[in-house]
Amino acid sequence: MTIAEERTRISAGPQHGLTADTYRSEDIWQQECRTVLAKNWVLIGFAHQIANPGDASPVTCAGLPLLTLRAQDGSIQVFHNVCLHRCMTLVDKPRNVGKLIRCPYHAWAYDLQGRLRAAPHFAGTGKQEFDGFDLKEHRLEPVRTHVWHDWIFVNLDGSAAEFEDYAAPLVNRLEGMDFGRVEPIGLLDFGEIETNWKLIMENFIEPYHVQFVHAATTDQPLEDHYTITDGNCIGSAVDLKQETGTAGSLGVSSRYLTLYPNFILGRYFPDQLGVYLNVPTGPGRMRQYRALYTTEGQQLSADEIEGLRQLWWDVHKEDHEMVERMFEGRKSPVAAGGGLLSPAWEDSVRAFQDLIERDLASTDQKEQTQ
């Protein structure tokens, strides 16, 4: 009996998905920003995009404007992207700020550690400080940050477990990966997608749709897949009996892994990796990027890289149509009960939804005791 058949055998009928409201409601989105996206480690950016000291990039997490910044010593820091003076956003597009982040409004300036260095004329012409206002006592508000290889994570409320513990179920499944040899070879920017970000996550962790949606772009038979549900690491895997490579279509053994809530990593044996940056921006809006990596230090030609970019562009576009239509379908009363989930292939989806429900409920408890 296969794993999928065994899971079906022990299930008591199909489980239901999350209610339609969980995807479409503005109130639940706000609640998600306070819980799911605040208390966990959320991916917000790629370290290689801010490679040099002074490189700064504005990002958003849980609807908040944040700033990722490379300091002089090479470390990466994340701050709230807001000036302490009039609360302007400081940096509005990726750029190198030099040694100081200067607010465009009244030229307040912060160094790359976030310390306030100038507040020109704040106390009168040519004067900055006065009794009760000392530059040294002010700095940009930092956000708890962890950089894991090329991936910048934040935990907004500071309450998550240490990243090493939080991510252990994922890290344990990447055994044999030599991260010292992982090199970025390209970044795809898919722009805005009109869906709820959870549908993108759910789509990634179930292998059921691959044969239908990606018939033209993949050669990975359903029967060779199995799902993975391991704490914060949820996904699926496929071990092929016959490998056909990645030229034109994807026909290699793969791991489709996530780190709850929004980190997605695809490992394609023997030598490729893809990481999705999923940025929820509202109940029905998100942005998505995919970084492509080689894992064995192999040199690819420009044509080979272009071929991979095209393959992944096509695969993602196939998924985007599905997740946008699932979001649209959730306007219907038919969707109120959440639809039906396969015990064989979508227990992973339900496991992700269980974590979402757990976190959403944590707000309710807090609000009830207030």
Q: Which positions lie near Fe ion, rule CB under 5 A?
A: 319
Nearest distance from residue 289's CB to Fe ion, in Å?
Answer: 17
d(CA 256, CA 330): 26
Nearest distance from residue 3's CB to Fe ion, in Å?
Answer: 20
Nearest residue to Fe ion, using CB? 319
Beta-carbon contacts of 237 under 8 Å, excluding residues fewer than 6 positions away, are 225, 226, 228, 253, 254, 255, 256
Burial classification of residue 247, based on how many CB atoms lie within 10 Å of its CB (0-12 exposed, 13-18 middle, 19 or more buried): exposed
Nearest distance from residue 214's CB to Fe ion, in Å?
Answer: 6
Sign of CA dihedral 128, 133, 135, 136: positive
Nearest distance from residue 207's CB to Fe ion, in Å?
Answer: 9
Closer by beta carbon to Fe ion, 155 or else 288: 288
Nearest distance from residue 150's CB to Fe ion, in Å?
Answer: 23
% helix, strand, coil for the chain, step of 5: 30, 30, 35
Structure tokens at 22: 């969980």
Place of tokens 């359903």: 222
Place of tokens 């109940």: 283
d(CA 85, CA 309): 43
Expressed in angstroms, the distance from the first to the final Cα of the chain is 51
Closer by beta carbon to Fe ion, 153 or else 289: 289
Closer by beta carbon to Fe ion, 319 or else 347: 319
Nearest Cα to 316, choosing from 213, 198, 183, 194?
A: 213
Closer by beta carbon to Fe ion, 55 or else 319: 319
Nearest distance from residue 61's CB to Fe ion, in Å?
Answer: 25
- Report residue 262: phi and psi, to 5°: -130, 5
Closer by beta carbon to Fe ion, 32 or else 318: 318
Nearest distance from residue 143's CB to Fe ion, in Å?
Answer: 32
Closer by beta carbon to Fe ion, 37 or else 201: 201
Nearest distance from residue 242's CB to Fe ion, in Å?
Answer: 21
Structure tokens at 249: 């279509």
Closer by beta carbon to Fe ion, 46 or else 256: 256
- Report residue 188: phi and psi, to 5°: -105, 135
350, 16 contact by CB (below 8 A): no
Residue 227 vs residues 85, 186, 223, 253: alpha-carbon distances, Å = 50, 28, 11, 14
d(CA 342, CA 3): 13
Closer by beta carbon to Fe ion, 66 or else 201: 201
Nearest distance from residue 307's CB to Fe ion, in Å?
Answer: 19
Closer by beta carbon to Fe ion, 157 or else 224: 224
Cross-strand partners of 79: 67, 142
